[in-house]
Amino acid sequence: MPARTLGTEGLQTSALGLGCMGMSQSFGARPPRDEMIAFLRAAVDRGVTFFDTAEVYGPFHNEELVGEALEPVREDVVIATKFGFAFDENGKQTGVTSRPDDIRAAVDGSLRRLRTDAIDLLYQHRVDPAVPIEDVAGTVKELVEAGKVRHFGMSEAGVATIRRAHAVQRVTALQSEYSLFWREPEDEILPAVEELGIGFVPFSPLGRGFLTGQVTAATEFDEGDIRASLPRFQREALEANLALVDLVTKVAERKGATVGQVALAWLLAQKPWIVPIPGTRRLERLDENLASAELDLTSEDLAELDSASASVQVQGDRYPEAMQRMIDR
C-alpha cells in the first residue's frame, strides 16, 4: 500500500484508510465482535495503517472494538478518533459540546477504550457554536503538550473556523465528505487547506455505497440503515442520481475496474495529501477498495469523470435537516 502524508507535521498513513463506523452502527445489524476484530487485523495485514473511529459511534462500542483489534499492532498504525458530542446518562447522544472540560473527559475515555497512551489524530467531530474555536484549539494544544494527543483535526468545519483554529494549534487534517457524488469542498475548502498545509480526509468517498454500483433504483434500505433517512436516497432523488453511476460505469468498463475503484482512484488523483477512508466490513470489498490505489487514470479519464460529475445535478441534501444544521460553513 503506498503511503501519503497528512499535513506538514509528518503524519504518514496508507494512501487509503478504513472508516470503522459501519462496524458498530448505521448500516444494519451490528456484526459479531470477533468477526470485526479479525477483519480489522486482516486490513492491517493488507497494508492499511489508518483507522477512523469516534466516541459517538455506537456510542463507545466502535472505539472499544478498534482498541482491542489494534492493540497487538498499535505501534504500526495510526488511529484517528473524534470528540464533540454530548451524551445523557444512558449513553444516548444529545447534541454537540466542545467545552474544554468535556474535551478532556472525552479524550480520557477514548484513550481507555482504544487501549493506548496517545491518540494519533484527534478531530473535533462537529463545530460547537457555543464554544469559541480558539478555546477548543487551545484545549487540544494542552493535550498535545501533555502527550495525550499527537495531531489535531477538524471535521465538517468551514474555512473561517479552520483558519482561527489553525492559528492556535496547527490543524493536521480536515475530514469532510468528498467524492464524485459530492464536490462542494472544491469551492473553498480544498484551496484553503492546501494554502495552510492541512491534509484532507474524505469520508463517504463512495457516497455511502452509491458509487459502488451496487445501489439501484429498486434497492430498499431497512430501518437500521442510515440511508433510509437520507434525502439523496429517497426514491425520486435516487433514480435521478443514478445517472452519475451510469457515466462512471463507462470509464470503469474501459479500465477493467469496478465503479468503486474508479471513484476512489479519481479521489486519489486530485491531490497527494488526500487520504480517503472508505468504510466496509467485508474482506472482498476491502480488497476491491485497496486495489484502487494501483489504478492509473489518465488525464483523459479524469476529464471524462469530471465532465460526468458536472453533468449530473445531485438531488437531495446529504442529511436530514437537523443533521444538516450541524455542518459549519
The set of catalytic residues is: 57
Q: How many CB atoms lie within 10 A of CB 217?
A: 11
Amino acid at 301: D
Q: Which position has the grid cell 463545530? A: 127
C-alpha cell at 251: 470509464
C-alpha cell at 125: 467531530
- 36 near 281, Cβ under 8 Å? yes
- 200 near 174, Cβ under 8 Å? yes
CA angle in degrees (0–180, nearest 5) for 276-8-17: 20
User: Based on the number of CB atoms within 10 Å of its own CB, is 307 exposed (0-12), middle (13-18) or buried (19 or more)?
Assistant: exposed
Name 310's Cβ contacts closer than 8 Å, sequence gap at least 6: none
Structure letter (DSSP) for residue 111: H
